[in-house]
Structure 1
Amino acid sequence: MWERFSYYGMRAILLYYIYDTVANGGLALPKETALAIMSIYGSLVFMSSIVGGWISDRVLGARKTVFLGGVFIMVGHIVLATPFGISALFLSILLIVIGTGMLKPNVSGMVGHLYSKTDTRRDAGFSIFYMGINMGALLAPFIVGTLGQTYNYHVGFSVAAFGMFFGLVQYYLQGKKSLASIGLKPTNPIGIEERKKFIRSLLIVLIFVIALFGGAFILGHLTISFFINSVSWLGILLPVYYFIKMLTSKNVTDEEKPRVLGYIPLFLAGIVFWSLEEQGSSILALFANERTNDTLFGLSIAPSWFQSLNPIFVVFLTPIFVTLWTKLGRRQPSTVVKFSLGLVFAGLSFMLLMLPGLLYGTDVKVSPLWLFFSFFIMIVGEMCISPVGLSITTKLAPRAFESQTVAIWLLADAAGQAINAQIARFYTPQTEAAYFGIVGMVAVITGIILILSKNPIKKLMGAIH
């Protein structure tokens, strides 16, 4: 809960801090650069989760990895709370990306190890865990956002750091009592030969990165734009590498390869969906600050508060959809149809935001209800995709890649945000209506294409639906 509090609290005001004027305590970077940085930051968080999962499984164990990740996150927020400008921004992003990558994929794994697979309390345990996460995400924008935008951005970041510190203390003290031996040791310790192979691979990667950025520096191209473009390409090419590796691996059977091919359209649909959903903290946050009235029914609303809508709607809609799918039983839509519906809802949420610009122009502020209903429609779509995305990934992934299934699904979000870093530049007051309309229509059309292709996809998936 406290990690999500610190993360969502920081994210609620980070965009505004990056592009706000120096007089207001911001960094005064161009808005399009601020939007791209937010997307790249999110993409790196999901990519780093792959490394964090590996460190836990092979080297440190989940318990130490989670604690160390929390320390990195806390230090990252402390750095962001210092008045050292752009240098502090990028150092803090690096620290928080490393920390979140170590913490995020391993906490849920430890919750799973608290119960046996047949324990009837297992689902209830995950429900409590899920509620805790969303409570932290829900409260953070109100507290951190209010302090950051009312008093000083650095005060807000300091509160986020304190939240993570409190979480670390609680985790350390309560962990000894509640977790016993869970996560103390790596589940699949790396051997001597594997360690040598890993070190060689790591050196090759480091040499490549140093050569890439060193060459850019020598040629005078080492800019924020170069960094953004490099991470964007990485976010897009990494999934391509994973799928090529799976389809060409000798350890993947002839029966499993068609399933991988059947999974690819769903993965691409996931990229499109997360591309739209993750714009809630960038494009929609900008819309909240610059195009939305700060009062509703006589109550003042800070722009950062809109970031609480996502977890509020998730908490509200999750039990409704769980009940719906349970009641429908075998009559519930297939995974392909659910993904299609999710994309259509995501597209409609963006197309709704096209209307204020068309009806009133882009030089006036509009009712907060436009964003309220846009977020609501988006989360309805998320209910159709997010809960089943990891599930279908675990079902369709080859046995040889079972331990990497979480990483594969997270890469859809990473790729979606990598794309956002590139398309965010097209959002301006003059192009607002066209931007929301085109991006929304792309999602709707993708959903329609997916549902029209459901029969060949289901054929590739075999008995898994």
Structure 2
Amino acid sequence: MKSKHPKGLFYLFFTEMWERFGYYLILGIFILYMIDPSGPKGGLSLSDKMADDIFGTYIALTYLTPFIGGFLADRVLGYFKSIYLGGVLMAIGYIGLGCFKELPWFYLSLGLIIVGNGFFKPTISTVLGNLYQEEPYKNNKDSGYNIFYMGINIGAFICNIIAAFMRNKFGWEEAFITAGMGMLLGLVIFTLGRRHILRATQIKPAEKGDAKISDVLIKVFLPAVIAGGIGWGIPGNILGSNTTDAFAFACIPIIYFYISLYLKAKQEEKRPIAALFLVFIICMFFWAIFKQNGTALTRWANYYTDRRVPVSLEKTLGKIYLVETADYKDKEVTVYDEQFRVRKDIHGKALRERGKEVYFKNITSDQKEELEALDTGPNKKIYLYNTELFQSINPFWVIVLTPFLVGLWAYLRRKGREPSTPAKIVLGLFITALSCLVMLCAAYMANNGAVKVSPWWLVACYGVITIGELCLSPMGLSLVSKLSPPRFTALMMGGFFLANSIGNKLSGVLASTWYNYEYKPYYFLVNFSLLIFAFLIGVWLLKFLNKVMREQGLN
């Protein structure tokens, strides 16, 4: 009996797992590294707002470059070369972050990762879709993408545990280098599976009217670079920061290119492309909220969550804090973090910091009792969970819930009641909105930051958002593979990641407004409202999207 899934899935699964291991290892510690006070074993000592801006721009650009990377894979390099080129560039970038701390080298390393991801990400997703183009695999494409997506999240789950160990035991630099080693291991696995993947890597022949590489470089890429430079150089800020202005301006020529792609397409290709564009738009709202796991939710874990380890686990997890002095009269607490080699505050009420000193203002009686309960003194040890460990909650839920969701879709398929792929995406938007309500309740229980709340709030939030993610993200990849004209599937996959990119940038913009909200529940209420807005648009478009699916002989 022939398997329901091609053998190449196994190799793509583990290739992507190790690539995402490196990518998400960086994301888990990126904000923490940037805001960590500088020193021989410290970070970059940037402000929270600047770190949010850099983070949002970085993840936005990693999903913007797949536009040009997908085109080059489709038309020039081919899929094998694109995957190898992208993987090597990312590995060099990760290792560069570990070897060089000066800002010019820091930005250059990020640039290599951004360009490498542009070649790697759309290409490997396209190759997976090509494996399911023939019987008996064709009807199992959604399940194949769900399984592939679980591989992504296994890498995302284990990376934060290893990142915590590496930076506790050695330092930031060794953690970054570990990410590069993971990427290189992924390329080795991809090479071992070459013969099982080869048939899915044939480039589709170009047709009359297709965009040429010279047109894309001269009419799209170059104008995007120029427009980005104009956005950066505009006096003042239109959208809040130079990087946001530059990104928005750079997107204009690329968006125009995709519109012209639709206008020049053959008549039978127009409706599928239009359907994909509409899905891209509503997916942007999802990414704008989901990608706050590296900013707002990391900040929540760092400052608003009670991360104290139960006494029974202290010896297992090791020493975290050594509190040297605590003078409540002067509202001053000095903390030395021996294990992490970075300053960490006991409570999220720090007014300012200088070296190892953390100053508190307006300490309430409850906060004073909290500090006294820690029995602070020269020899008192306090044990806390690493902040980045909370980044493993989401991929943990993906690993646990994916088999159940795949089984649910299979059960409904047998009953003839499985939702269409667009319906799953719209459902994902609604479920993700509910996760914002979980955090709204957590912010209310935290008394606007006066009290640290249980980590179970984050566990619950990530549990809900993961269900929404599983309904939307792998289904988006599957939909692109189903509806894209075969001759530029990777290019349309790049369009999906363009939407992801814009959403990622919006996530940084939203996160940077955190301190604008005196009452923190309002922050999560805004996120909830944005997702409900996108959900209502999706419901309105669903009839058209399903009709296009039926016209293409799909369900």
Q: Could you say which TM-score interval applies, normalised by the shorter chain?
A: 0.7 to 0.9
Residue in 1 that maps onto 2:357? none
Tell which deviates more after alignment, 163-172 or 181-190: 181-190
From 12, 34, 43, the equivalent of 2:51 is: 34
Match of 2:394, as an amino acid? Answer: N
Residue in 2 that maps onto 1:351? 437
Counting only pairs closer than 5 Å after superposition, residues 155-170 of structure 1 correspond to structure 2 as: 155-169=174-188
Residue in 2 that maps onto 1:340? 426
Cα 1:294/1:183, change in 2 over 3 Å: farther
**Matched residue SS, 1:22:** coil
Residue in 2 that maps onto 1:97? 114
Contact 1:232 1:421 in 2 (8 A): no
Match of 1:389, as an amino acid? Answer: G
Residue 275 (1) aligns with residue 361 (2): no
Instruction: Tell me, in whole angstroms, the C-alpha distance in 2 between the residues paired with 1:203 and 1:239.
Output: 15
Cα 1:289/1:421, change in 2 over 3 Å: same
Specify the structure having the higher radius of gyration (Cα).
Answer: 2
Q: 1:178-224: per-residue Cα shift (whole Å, max 9, x none)?
A: 53792898625889x999x53365245565466556667887779x9
Tell which deviates more after alignment, 269-278 or 147-156: 147-156
Which is helix-richer, 1 or 2? Answer: 1
**Matched residue SS, 1:179:** helix
Match of 2:521, as an amino acid? Answer: A
Cα 1:291/1:61, change in 2 over 3 Å: same
Contact 2:287 2:507 in 1 (8 A): no
Cα 1:417/1:214, change in 2 over 3 Å: closer
Match of 1:364, as an amino acid? Answer: V
What is the deviation of 1:250?
5.1
Residue in 1 that maps onto 2:538? 450
**Matched residue SS, 2:512:** helix
Match of 1:17, as an amino acid? Answer: Y
Instruction: Tell me, in whole angstroms, the C-alpha distance in 1 between the residues paired with 2:400 and 2:482.
Output: 28
Instruction: Tell me, in whole angstroms, the C-alpha distance in 2 between the residues paired with 1:171 and 1:337.
Output: 33
Residue 106 (1) aligns with residue 123 (2): yes
Instruction: Tell me, in whole angstroms, the C-alpha distance in 1 between the residues paired with 2:478 and 2:137.
Output: 19
**Matched residue SS, 2:85:** helix
Cα 1:290/1:208, change in 2 over 3 Å: same
Counting only pairs closer than 5 Å after superposition, residues 228-267 of structure 1 correspond to structure 2 as: 228-235=244-251, 238-239=254-255, 241-242=257-258, 244-249=259-264, 251-253=266-268, 257-267=270-280
Q: 1:405-451: per-residue Cα shift (whole Å, max 9, x none)?
A: 32232222122112223222211273531111111122124324533
Contact 1:62 1:185 in 2 (8 A): yes
What is the deviation of 1:105?
2.5
Residue in 1 that maps onto 2:523? 435
Contact 1:309 1:375 in 2 (8 A): yes
Cα 1:14/1:250, change in 2 over 3 Å: closer
RMSD after superposition: 3.7
What is the deviation of 1:353?
0.8
Cα 1:462/1:103, change in 2 over 3 Å: closer
Contact 2:292 2:508 in 1 (8 A): no
How many residues are paired up?
A: 457
Counting only pairs closer than 5 Å after superposition, residues 393-412 of structure 1 correspond to structure 2 as: 393-397=480-484, 402=489, 404-412=491-499
Match of 2:280, as an amino acid? Answer: F
**Matched residue SS, 2:46:** coil
Unaligned segments of structure 2, at least 5 residues? 1-16, 314-383
Instruction: Tell me, in whole angstroms, the C-alpha distance in 2 between the residues paired with 1:116 and 1:265.
Output: 24
Contact 1:5 1:163 in 2 (8 A): yes
Percent identity (aligned): 30
Residue in 2 that maps onto 1:291? 304
Tell which deviates more after alignment, 96-105 or 54-63: 54-63
Q: 1:322-353: per-residue Cα shift (whole Å, max 9, x none)?
A: 11122122223344543332112111111211
What is the deviation of 1:28?
1.9
Cα 1:227/1:166, change in 2 over 3 Å: same
Residue in 2 that maps onto 1:137? 156
Cα 1:66/1:241, change in 2 over 3 Å: closer
Instruction: Tell me, in whole angstroms, the C-alpha distance in 2 between the residues paired with 1:343 and 1:179.
Output: 38
Residue in 2 that maps onto 1:307? 391
Residue 426 (1) aligns with residue 513 (2): yes
Residue in 2 that maps onto 1:8? 24
Tell which deviates more after alignment, 9-18 or 256-265: 256-265
Instruction: Tell me, in whole angstroms, the C-alpha distance in 2 between the residues paired with 1:369 and 1:70.
Output: 36
Q: 1:16-66: per-residue Cα shift (whole Å, max 9, x none)?
A: 111222146121222122122222222211222232233333323322322
Contact 2:126 2:493 in 1 (8 A): no
**Matched residue SS, 1:81:** helix
Contact 2:440 2:525 in 1 (8 A): yes
Residue in 1 that maps onto 2:214? 199
Instruction: Tell me, in whole angstroms, the C-alpha distance in 2 between the residues paired with 1:459 and 1:205.
Output: 32
Cα 1:351/1:239, change in 2 over 3 Å: farther
Cα 1:181/1:291, change in 2 over 3 Å: closer
What is the deviation of 1:268?
2.4
